[in-house]
């Protein structure tokens, strides 16, 4: 079993997850840490960040060290060598209001079984909960189980995400919607998310544009819709986390990473949203950089 990056979670309402709220849904808190994974390879416990395999010499905010010292996870993977744990390594990013004793811990949000052909099957929450409980491994519990939630229902549940948040400090980053019986119209198993900051920014932008009738370029609409302040801050936080801090020398990396992730994660949604538009990527890249300069003006 080799390193395998966790799947992209689509924004609720995008084409890839249309209909995910039809049926029985589990609504999970989304916490603001850094993505991690743990698996077994040839008898060795292996650890990954969002994009790469880690080691003692190439760690990610001491996540490898934490797993290397975690006997519960070792015991689980010895018993279940084909299991792969995905979760959130909770270290400071944008949200700093988590409980003091919640930091520097790994919270599992997915358990996958990998068969001999390399195919992954996600275990149902009720299945992996029992296993993780038996090994006393931390995980993210659902806010609720709900059938056929409306958009309004989901927004109300967004306000109930207080998992690990200090009392009186508001709500967390967002929610993830999982429907274990759902496949997208493209035949893929995927989940949806609503991120609080993106939701606020989107609706604030809509209100500002209500009376604007002038034509806006497709490149500008893409940046407005998908390259949000929350999206930029997330990529900035990844750079800070993976490099143990920020240096001005990383500005070029930030420009490149935001543009790269925008293209990798959102191209399909761009094509569907704007009806297969002709996109000038040179203009799009310039607009992305301009947006970063506005959002992260303290760096310039």
Find the DSSP H helices in 33-82.
63-68, 71-79
* Residue 48 token pair: 């990954």
C-alpha–C-alpha distance, residues 109 and 125, integer Å: 9
The helix (run of H) or strand (run of E) holding residue 188 is: none
Q: So what's the pLDDT on residue 95?
A: 86
Low-confidence ranges of the chain (pLDDT < 50): 209-214
Q: So what's the pLDDT on residue 84?
A: 97
Share of the chain above pLDDT 90, in %: 67
C-alpha–C-alpha distance, residues 100 and 93, integer Å: 14
C-alpha–C-alpha distance, residues 108 and 31, integer Å: 11
Residue 87, number of CB atoms within 10 A of its CB? 24
Q: So what's the pLDDT on residue 129?
A: 98
Q: So what's the pLDDT on residue 1?
A: 82
Q: So what's the pLDDT on residue 215?
A: 55
* Range 10-194 classified under CATH 3.30.470.30: yes
177, 154 in Cβ contact below 8 A?
yes
Q: So what's the pLDDT on residue 197?
A: 77
Q: So what's the pLDDT on residue 203?
A: 56
For 158-183, letters b (16+ CB in 10 Å) and e give: beebebbbeeeeebbbbbbbbbbebe
Q: Cα 145–174–164 angle (5° rounding)? A: 85
Q: So what's the pLDDT on residue 214?
A: 43
Q: So what's the pLDDT on residue 42?
A: 87
For β-strands 192-195 and 10-11, DSSP reports them as parallel
């Amino acid at each position: 079993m080799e390193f395998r990056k966790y799947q992209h979670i689509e924004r609720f309402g995008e084409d890839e997850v249309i209909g995910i709220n039809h049926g029985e849904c589990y609504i999970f808190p989304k916490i603001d840490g850094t993505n991690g994974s743990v698996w077994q390879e040839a008898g060795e416990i292996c650890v990954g960040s969002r994009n790469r395999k880690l080691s003692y010499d190439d760690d990610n905010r001491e996540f490898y060290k934490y797993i290397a010292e975690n006997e519960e996870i070792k015991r689980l993977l010895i018993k279940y060598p084909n299991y792969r744990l995905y979760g959130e390594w909770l270290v400071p990013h944008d949200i700093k209001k988590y409980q003091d004793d919640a930091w520097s811990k790994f919270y599992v949000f997915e358990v996958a079984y990998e068969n001999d052909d390399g195919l992954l099957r996600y275990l149902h929450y009720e299945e992996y909960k029992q296993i993780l409980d038996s090994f006393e491994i931390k995980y993210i519990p659902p806010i609720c189980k709900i059938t056929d939630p409306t958009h309004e229902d989901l927004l109300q549940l967004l306000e109930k995400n207080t998992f690990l948040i200090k009392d009186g400090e508001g709500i967390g980053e967002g929610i993830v919607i999982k429907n274990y019986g759902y496949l997208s119209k493209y035949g893929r198993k995927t989940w949806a998310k609503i991120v609080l900051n993106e939701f606020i920014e989107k609706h604030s932008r809509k209100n500002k544009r209500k009376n604007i009738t002038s034509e806006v370029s497709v490149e500008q609409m893409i940046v407005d819709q998908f390259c949000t302040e929350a999206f930029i801050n997330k990529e900035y936080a990844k750079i800070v986390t993976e490099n143990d801090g920020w240096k001005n020398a990383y500005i070029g990396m930030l420009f490149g990473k935001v543009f790269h992730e925008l293209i990798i994660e959102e191209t399909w949604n761009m094509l569907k949203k704007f009806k297969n538009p002709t996109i000038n990527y040179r203009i799009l890249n310039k607009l992305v950089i301009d947006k970063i300069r506005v959002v992260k003006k303290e760096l310039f």
